Chain A
Amino acid sequence: MAMHPLRKQRLGIVVFILLASAAAAAFLGYALRENINLFYPPADIVAGKAPLDKKIRAGGMVEEGSVERATDSLKVRFRVTDYSASVAVAYEGILPDLFAEGEGVVVTGRLAEDGVFYADEVLAKHDENYMPPEVSEALEKSAQSRAEEATAGKEYSGS
């Protein structure tokens, strides 16, 4: 089953082309590593890694209980978190249907010196979970009852 030497040489060329282009792609990816990321996570923004007053994107989860809507306009304020840090976002406009507390979001805008992110675009980022509404309700219910059982258990052991 020995390969013809000429074919072996051509196989070597094919492997070389593959390795060379993989290396080129790896170097390119390394050089552009920050630019390929679509957004900054809140931890980087709080740590001062994001530029001020320049058009950037921030992404994370909308913090539970942080959404404040104005009653007389489309102005809205909320906090974006990655569960290690959070950034305040101010926005005026229509929010996507999937925008909600505890859901993913990517905002485009400028980071001001006061630490507030003034957004001119808000995109919803959903996760890879797909299920029918009844299943999600059932999951929530079972999670709730498990939490209740856990607290009940604690009370029991505490008394």
Chain B
Amino acid sequence: MANWQWFHKWGSPRWFYQFSGRLLPWLAIPALLLLVGGCVWGLAFVPADFKQGNSFRIIYIHVPAAAVAMGGYMLMATAAAVHLIWRMKLAAIVMKSAAPIGAALTFLALLTGAVWGKPTWGTWWVWDARITSVLILFFLYLGLIALHQAFENRDAAARACAVLAIVGAVNIPIIYWSVEWWYSLHQPASIKFVGESTIHPTMLRPLMATLSGMYLFFGWVLLLFVRAEIIEREKNTRWVQALVSGK
């Protein structure tokens, strides 16, 4: 049973609050450097695309927003499953905290996609499988936020949201493979896990910077939301009161 000890430690909000406080600068500083640096690099120091011209530069914000919106959902669904199985308080807090960040990033992916679609495809919006499934992701995030607020009881809210989050996880592989399974206007992925990426290395490097920057940014802001939620839930405990009284 000794092997489970780390698991219980991670489940302790107090321990997590102290641990995450030390982690914050290690996420925030590289996140901002990579995001700002990658954007400047992609906007001004990378040649234009041979077909799309300069509009392709939107890729440096569109792809990171979309990828982290999906990755964030998987993290949220995993936290939901951990909460349902082990009734871990911290997992419920992570699940609740990931929803607004995921919603904001999905909104950005949809908005920058529309703005990119107009000069390249000739339309802001089309109901193809990729765009529609990402819109469903957006509604899932909004639905989770609304569902959590609809409950008076925090534990009941967490359990209902966890079930919805797990059901919605089915949408993630659908988004990812939608461009392969069906005829769509959206092109397939350029960054490939297997085989060579179909984006030239000079253009790929700043994309890797903004993509990793966005993952770190998600981690940073997630910790900020989680820490706020921990203080709020534990406001009547001695350790939080000692913390805010500066003793």
Binding between chains A and B: yes
Is A61 part of the contact surface with B, judged by Cβ < 8 Å? no
How far does the alpha carbon of A104 sit from the alpha carbon of B185 in the complex, in Å? 9
* Cβ B198 vs Cβ A17 within 8 A: no
* Cβ A10 vs Cβ B84 within 8 A: yes
Contact of B167 among A21, A40, A133 (CB under 8 A): A21
* Cβ B49 vs Cβ A98 within 8 A: no
* Cβ A96 vs Cβ B120 within 8 A: yes
* Cβ B167 vs Cβ A17 within 8 A: yes
Interface flags for A60-97 (1: CB within 8 Å of B; 0: not) read 00000000000000000000000000000000000111
* Cβ A124 vs Cβ B122 within 8 A: yes
* Cβ A133 vs Cβ B122 within 8 A: no
Contact of B166 among A17, A127, A136 (CB under 8 A): A17
How far does the alpha carbon of A103 sit from the alpha carbon of B113 in the complex, in Å? 20
* Cβ A38 vs Cβ B122 within 8 A: no
For residue A106, which residues in chain B have a CB less than 8 angstroms away from its CB? 126, 185
* Cβ B198 vs Cβ A37 within 8 A: no
Q: How large is the interface on B (under 10, 10 to 19, 20 to 34, 35 or more residues)?
A: 35 or more
Closest to B200 in A: A131
Is A116 part of the contact surface with B, judged by Cβ < 8 Å? no
* Cβ A18 vs Cβ B170 within 8 A: yes
For residue B203, which residues in chain A have a CB less than 8 angstroms away from its CB? 130-132
Contact of B174 among A25, A96, A132 (CB under 8 A): A25
Given that A37-B183, A59-B183, A135-B50 are contacting pairs, would A130 and B166 also be in contact in the complex, using a CB cutoff of 8 Å?
Answer: no
How far does the alpha carbon of A22 sit from the alpha carbon of B126 in the complex, in Å? 25
Given that A7-B85, A18-B169, A38-B129 are contacting pairs, would A125 and B198 also be in contact in the complex, using a CB cutoff of 8 Å?
Answer: no
How far does the alpha carbon of A36 sit from the alpha carbon of B126 in the complex, in Å? 12
Is A134 part of the contact surface with B, judged by Cβ < 8 Å? yes
How far does the alpha carbon of A99 sit from the alpha carbon of B121 in the complex, in Å? 9
* Cβ B126 vs Cβ A126 within 8 A: no
Q: Which of B51-59, B65-73, B98-106, B230-238 contacts A (4 or more CB under 8 A)?
A: B51-59
Q: Which of B187-195, B208-216, B217-225 contacts A (4 or more CB under 8 A)?
A: B187-195
Interface flags for B20-52 (1: CB within 8 Å of A; 0: not) read 000000000000000000000000001111111
* Cβ A7 vs Cβ B170 within 8 A: no
Per DSSP, chain A at the interface is mixed
How far does the alpha carbon of A131 sit from the alpha carbon of B49 in the complex, in Å? 5
Interface flags for A100-125 (1: CB within 8 Å of B; 0: not) read 00010010000000000000011111
A143 to chain B, nearest CB (A): 14
* Cβ B52 vs Cβ A98 within 8 A: yes
For residue A40, which residues in chain B have a CB less than 8 angstroms away from its CB? 183
* Cβ A129 vs Cβ B119 within 8 A: no
* Cβ B169 vs Cβ A125 within 8 A: no
Which residue, B127, B187, B189, B199, has most C-beta atoms of chain A within 10 A?
Answer: B187
Is B155 part of the contact surface with A, judged by Cβ < 8 Å? no
How far does the alpha carbon of A40 sit from the alpha carbon of B183 in the complex, in Å? 8
Instruction: Jot down 20 A-B pairs with beta carbons below 8 A, ordered by A.
Output: A18-B169, A21-B167, A29-B181, A36-B129, A36-B181, A38-B129, A96-B122, A97-B53, A98-B122, A121-B123, A123-B121, A123-B185, A126-B121, A127-B188, A128-B199, A129-B190, A129-B199, A130-B49, A132-B202, A133-B50
Q: Which residues of A contact B (CB under 8 A)?
A: 1, 7, 10-11, 13-14, 17-18, 21-22, 24-25, 29, 36-41, 59, 95-99, 103, 106, 121-137
User: Can you name 19 extra interface pairs (CB under 8 A) apart from A98-B51, A121-B123, A133-B50?
Assistant: A14-B84, A14-B166, A17-B163, A17-B167, A21-B170, A29-B181, A37-B129, A37-B183, A38-B126, A38-B127, A38-B128, A97-B122, A123-B185, A125-B187, A128-B199, A131-B200, A132-B50, A133-B48, A135-B50
